[in-house]
Amino acid sequence: MFYLIISTLFFTIFSTSISSLHAEEFWVTLTNDLYKNAKYQGNVPMSYEGENYKTGITLIKIDSAYIDTLSYLKHKNPKLQGFITHYTINEARNFLNKDSINESQQFIPPSVDYTLTQEALIPQFIAEIKESNIVDTIKNLSDFFNRYYKSTWGTQSAGWIKNKWSTLANGRADITVSEFKHQFAQPSIIMTIKGKDKPNEILVLGGHFDSIAGYFGGANNRAPGADDNASGISVITETIRVLLEKNYYPSRTIMFIAYAAEEAGLLGSKDVANDCKKKNLNIIGVMQLDMTNYKGSEKDIYLISDNTNVRQNTFIGTLIDNYVKVSWGQSACGYGCSDHASWTANGYPASLPFESTAEEYNPNIHSENDLLSVTNNRADHSVKFAKLAIAYVLELAK
């Protein structure tokens, strides 16, 4: 009892101190179970703004300092679903009032053909994948003390990715590598390869690069984020390397994106996807790579079934069967669990191939123990996702 009283007193004093340092407030849509856990078990101060009883989503207002806490609570209990952070109350209410984040009606542009036609080409590209390159990129990214979206290291790691991708581009005139600026310091990084025949039809391959650890003070906590999500960025980087070293020129435009601030409630991808929607860009398909290197379940690849596109998921299953040739299944991860949800919310077809079932992912994420050593300094599981990513690009950007 004495310990409880002292702990509660410390939490109150510490919480007050944290709040006094952060005046910024966010509006957050989250599942009712995460809301109740944060309020009653996590003692997170918040104001209740509303609830959609049909979908079980709650809207709250919260000090930005406690975004870390929501992220911690979500990953501490795999049964809890995620959350999406909003800058304004109007944006948050629009999300709350949707019957479902899957309101896109599974729209696929009529120009998209899911028939496999690149059987002769794709194995040649897949043969060029090097596990050692994926390992090296994971090492480089996890060497940053953290990649938290408000930390200096978070901004520096964005610069590292930009430089790496720019080097791979090697001055090609059809390629640009740029920063996408947000309302916070950490930018997202976008490499664009302009399509030579259908430049206005765009394929997206993305993953977040920020990392987080701890209950409070994310900017000061060690968060190597080797699996979550240096592994996804490393797969994307190796995909870029193989395509460019094979002198590949796509018919459709390809955007490779490293998203900022996913751990803070999909902030980076939400900004990027909203911007694409505002500009009325014709995004024909989106693949999200978030955690690829920990084989926690029986099968090799799991396609997330909720808040994703059914037809594209079926197509990706066909790619796995024909080109990757490993076992795969499906799993649901819930509301706002990764950046694919930002694209789905804007009506774009998105998919998330994942390293395990949603309940059996790497238990070391969001801690100082999310290290490459957990997977014996190997990236053999990630290689499967690199094969899939190359197949996805070559079949859809044709």
Amino acid making up residue 86: H
Catalytic residue check, 182: no
Per the CB < 8 A criterion, the answer to whether 343 and 199 are in contact is no
Start-to-end CA span in the chain (Å): 66
Q: Catalytic pick from 210, 228, 300, 395? A: 228
Q: Which residue in the block uniquely carries the two structure tokens 């740029």?
A: 178
Catalytic residue check, 263: yes
| Contacts of 82 by beta carbon, 8 Å cutoff, 6+ apart | 30, 31, 34, 74, 265, 333, 334, 335, 336, 337, 338, 341
Q: Catalytic pick from 366, 370, 381, 395? A: 366
Cα(114)–Cα(131) distance, rounded to whole angstroms? Answer: 28
Largest Cα separation within the chain, whole Å, is 71
Catalytic residue check, 75: no
| Contacts of 43 by beta carbon, 8 Å cutoff, 6+ apart | 11, 15
Per the CB < 8 A criterion, the answer to whether 346 and 274 are in contact is yes
Amino acid making up residue 12: T
H/E segment holding residue 269: helix 267-278
Catalytic residue check, 290: yes
Per the CB < 8 A criterion, the answer to whether 85 and 67 are in contact is yes
Catalytic residue check, 25: no
Q: Catalytic pick from 63, 210, 238, 263? A: 263
Per the CB < 8 A criterion, the answer to whether 258 and 205 are in contact is no
| Contacts of 206 by beta carbon, 8 Å cutoff, 6+ apart | 236, 255, 256, 257, 258, 259, 269, 286, 287, 288, 289, 339
Q: Catalytic pick from 262, 271, 300, 355? A: 262
Q: Catalytic pick from 75, 182, 208, 340? A: 208
Q: Catalytic pick from 227, 290, 300, 355? A: 290
Beta strands in the chain (DSSP E): 25-31, 46-52, 57-63, 83-86, 175-180, 188-193, 198-208, 252-259, 282-288, 301-304, 328-331, 350-351, 353-354
Strand 353-354 to 301-304 pairing: antiparallel
Catalytic residue check, 68: no
Q: Please identify every residue annotated as catalytic.
A: 208, 228, 262-263, 290, 366
